[in-house]
Amino acid sequence: MSFLEHLDELRRRLINSILIVVVAFVICWFASGAIYNFLSIPVREALAEAVRREVPIKGLTGDEATFPLTLLQPGDRGRYVFDRVTKLGSGVVQPGTSVAAVVAADSEGNIGIYTDEPLITGNAVIPKGVLLPADLSGKQIAEGADERLIVTTAPESFTLYVTVSLYSAIALSVPFLLWQIWAFISPALYRHERTYVTPFIFLSTVSFVLGAAFAYYILLPPALGYLLGLAEDFRPMLRASDYLDFVTIVLLAMGFIFQMPAVTYVLSRIGLVSASFLIKSWKVSLVVILIVAAFVSPTGDIPNMMLFAAPMMVLYLFSICIAWIFGRKRESSPSAG
């Protein structure tokens, strides 16, 4: 291919990639609210842990203790305290308001907590038997005013969901984008080397998902807990857009870091990387891993940095095994295209 033909091929692949991302963006837009709620769970849990301080209960007998709402049974009674501004019908209830409540089942058999007496607000009367906003399943986060992220401008909510949809579209398009990249570079490879595209895309996609999941479930909770723990003398008021940028960087960074085995597989099959080369370069690789971990880690403490560095070290060892199993010397093919 001539230089102009390479440029034309690059233009075609870029257009295809943009179209793929646009289609994925439209799909993700309709689920942007659910995606954002999923991404915000770690920070809301960390905020709840940072804001709520456990105070030991001391009672008459010494056996007094709190228990979760999941243990409530139909017929149990008590007083329900609103922990945030709540709108029930046309009535607005302020935080700190309490009302007699009872656990009961409605006509469809759903168990919930209902008002056991009329509640008079500033502009309406909330009658007896109204369902209160309490989760008895234990699956949702009990989110109060201090556990919610904030927006500071009117269009910020719209911009936030657009950003969520865009990032999600990029993540969803990874296999197709990898295919476009491979299609662009494949003319420079021998025909037998082009057969590596399917295992590469499969391994790369799985690695990206594993990396993002590792960051979400393993790295984010301790990192957020550490950061918010430093702000215990302050009232945390986190901007939703700032948190989204933060969590996206962490998820995407670990997703791409986990590409190490997939890239090693292709390079070793082509013959550009060998297991002996990776073993000889372990000192330099260790320094690079620590630098990348320090850059990607959202905190400056060594324990959290090691949470990022440890999986990279394991991936490097795994890459050595892959290069040892699949490595070969690069040879020309008579059927090269």
- Predicted confidence (pLDDT) per residue in 39-72, tens digit: 988 888 887 776 665 567 778 887 777 777 888 8
User: pLDDT confidence of 154, banded at 50, 70, 90?
Assistant: confident
- According to DSSP, the residues that pair with 88 across neighbouring strands are 91
Alpha helices by DSSP H, the chain: 3-29, 32-51, 156-172, 174-185, 197-214, 220-229, 240-257, 260-270, 275-280, 282-296, 302-326
34-to-23, 82, 164, 311 alpha-carbon distances in Å = 18, 25, 10, 29
Residues found in the chain? 337
CA 58/CA 67 separation, integer angstroms: 15
Tokens representing residue 78 in the block: 């008590």
For 186-196, the pLDDT digits (tens) are: 776 667 666 77
Segment 196-217, tens digit of pLDDT: 777 778 888 888 899 999 989 9
Task: Quote the pLDDT of residue 35.
Answer: 92
Out of 10-14, 75-79, 304-308, the most confident range is 75-79
Q: Return the closest-CA partner of residue 96 out of 76, 121, 123, 65.
A: 121
Q: What is the pTM of this model?
A: 0.69
Is the CB of residue 247 less than 8 Å from the CB of residue 298?
no
